[in-house]
A and B are shown apart, each in its own frame.
Chain A
Amino acid sequence: DTGVSQDPRHKITKRGQNVTFRCDPISEHNRLYWYRQTLGQGPEFLTYFQNEAQLEKSRLLSDRFSAERPKGSFSTLEIQRTEQGDSAMYLCASSSRQGATNEKLFFGSGTQLSVL
């Protein structure tokens, strides 16, 4: 059990460029979540997967954002045509949901995105 891994840790990009982040969950965790956190705020939910199926997307997730989880393993989050407002920490979490009341999320260290 190596924990949730996110890559890269930091990304600096120019406005208008596309960026892609990767998340490797704890092995055999069936759920994977993406959250976004800006300075001084709590994490905000973006989307989540159960195995390879994307079950819910937040209204925060504009058309420029897309997430995938092929084969129910790692996940990628892509942002197209980045804007300065996209600057944030992008957090990934995974869980092994065996019941609604005891689902515990394990978070990665996040990817800090800066859009210049």
Chain B
Amino acid sequence: KQEVTQIPAALSVPEGENLVLNCSFTDSAIYNLQWFRQDPGKGLTSLLLIQSSQREQTSGRLNASLDKSSGRSTLYIAASQPGDSATYLCAATGNTPLVFGKGTRLSVIA
């Protein structure tokens, strides 16, 4: 059974700082890993999808990496802004539909 863990559960940083969010998964037989953003009381917005054959994906200030052998993914956010404040969720899919972690709640302080 796939299990996804995210560390830390919460993070507070000053504006402009670069930061890394961590995600680990127990079953390395994944098809892809996805990172989502969720604002309070809202649905999920897809940020990046890394296919199992890929090592990383980039979109603007976001960079996500994937290491299947170690069961880890990281989301790197450069030059953080107050608008980046949200909960970030990672999710892995393989033989089962997307399995989510509990998320990292990010606060970027101006």
Contact = CB atoms under 8 A, between A and B. Distances in A.
Interface residues of A, number: 27
A101 B34 contact: no
Interface string A1-17: 00010100000000000
Interface stretch (B12-20, B72-80, B97-105): B97-105
A100 B100 contact: no
A112 B49 contact: no
B32 A101 contact: yes
A40 B93 CA distance: 21
Interface of B: 4, 31-32, 34, 36, 41-46, 49, 51-53, 89, 91, 93, 96-103
Given A43-B44, A109-B43, 16 more contacts: A33-B98, A35-B100, A40-B102, A42-B89, A43-B89, A43-B100, A45-B97, A101-B32, A101-B53, A102-B49, A103-B31, A104-B49, A105-B34, A105-B46, A107-B36, A107-B43
